[in-house]
Amino acid sequence: MARPTRFTRLTAVTAILATGLLAAACGGTDSAGSAPSADGGEKPKIGLVQINQQAIFFNEMNAGAQQAAEEAGVDLTIFNANDDSVKQNEAIDNFVQQQFDGVIVVAIDVEGIKPAVKIAKDAGLKVVAVDAIVDSPAVDTQVGVDNAEAAKQMGTFVNEWAKEQNVAVPNIGVVGALNSFIQNLRKDGFNSTVEAAGAKIVQTVDGQNKQEAALAAAENLLTSRSDLTAVYATGEPALLGTVAAVKSQNANDRVKVFGWDLTKEAIDGIDAGFVAGVVQQDPRTEGYEAVKEIKALVGGAQAKKTIDVPVTIVTKENVDKYRSTFK
């Protein structure tokens, strides 16, 4: 039996459940295409294919997208793939069948999603990719962070930290998500930068982009490598798991943690002193800009091709301005 998929009709505030097919929202959209707008015109129908709705990062992106949709008069549907790349492909196909005007994709598998994206483009939909880079001529505009470059920035930050702490050869463990294209970019860009400065990547463990798996992987890393100087976590679940592992293993006095994507737990770690730096993206802006761009594209505007959203490395010096978001 097929696992039910979930998505949210934000403009109608209606939850719709399906088993592999996207059902039209009752009263929200006519069957011919766009939904009626308040002024009697038609709202563009836009689908956002999301990775999951567990991570704060993706929920913030959804909130930005919803804000832009309300401001721009867009009928926005968010599909939650629950970390299943196959479901993402199915969602795009279903948006095509329902005659949507455009699709925004936060890809799990940047290669595997290309056939579905091409189908959407060939059917006349505008296509915007967010966060993960989908290198395809079918994508009109890419919105998000240069993950490889940001990873190098974090590597440089760690190199400077090691120099300040007089650590000549840091032994670094990595908690990654080896099934994630984006997090592998973050891993590789970081590793090459710190290794060029003399650090050693002594072990990499796979947190599978799930907090429970990342916790177990990080605990095993901390137990097996008593020589660790630092741990680098490549995403929100990895960082959450690493912070929890450092606490459970009473390792806060012997390792420093660096990673991606703030949470309340990461901020608590910064306050406690064992989390030294976190790459913070701006997912709300990513979602907002993606909807604005696709609305413009549907209206006939020329594609911007790339919309860059910068990152910040959060430390004890600048963490205060982020506290209200992660209470």
Q: At what angle do helices 181-196 and 147-164 cross, to 10 degrees?
A: 40
Helices (H) and strands (E) in the chain, counts: 9, 16
Give the integer Cα–Cα distance in Å for 171 and 177: 20
- Write out the H or E segment, with its range, that includes residue 212: helix 211-224
- Asked whether 228 and 222 are in contact (CB, 8 A), the reply is yes
The predicted model gives 256-277 an average pLDDT of 97
Please tell me the predicted confidence (pLDDT) of residue 9: 39
* Element of type H or E holding 306: strand 306-308
Q: Nearest Cα to 313, choosing from 197, 192, 210, 160?
A: 160
The predicted structure's pLDDT at residue 38: 44
Q: Is 172 left (phi over 0), alpha (psi -120 to 50) or beta?
A: beta
Which residues neighbour 144 within 8 Å (Cβ) at sequence distance 6 or greater? 129, 130, 131, 132, 133, 281, 286, 307, 308, 309
Count how many residues are written for the chain.
Answer: 327
The reported pLDDT for the residue numbered 16 is 33
pLDDT for 17 equals: 31
Residue 31 has pLDDT above 90, yes or no: no
Q: How many CA atoms lie within 13 A of 101 on its CB side?
A: 22
Alpha carbon distance 70, 53 (integer Å):
20
Q: Quick one: which of 278, 274, 216 has its CA closest to 250?
A: 274
The pLDDT value recorded for residue 33 is: 45
- Proportion of the chain above pLDDT 70, given as a percent: 87
pTM given for the model = 0.74
- pLDDT band of residue 100 (cuts 50, 70, 90) is very high
Which range among 13-27, 48-62, 163-177, 254-268 shows the weakest confidence by mean pLDDT?
A: 13-27
Write down the pLDDT at residue 222.
98
Q: What is the pLDDT of residue 35?
A: 52
The count of C-alpha atoms lying within 13 angstroms of the C-alpha of 226, restricted to the half-sphere facing its C-beta, is 0
The answer to whether the CB of 134 falls within 8 A of the CB of 110 is: yes
pLDDT tens-digit series, residues 284-325: 999 999 999 999 999 999 999 999 999 999 999 999 999 998
Whether 130 and 287 have beta carbons less than 8 Å apart is answered as yes
Read off the pLDDT band of 41 (50, 70, 90): low
* 142-200: pLDDT as tens digits: 999 999 999 999 999 999 999 999 999 999 999 999 988 889 999 999 999 999 999 99
* DSSP run (H or E) holding 46: strand 45-50
How does the average pLDDT of the chain come out, rounded? Answer: 89
Quote the pLDDT of residue 42: 85
Q: Is 110 helix (H, G, I), strand (E, B) or coil?
A: coil
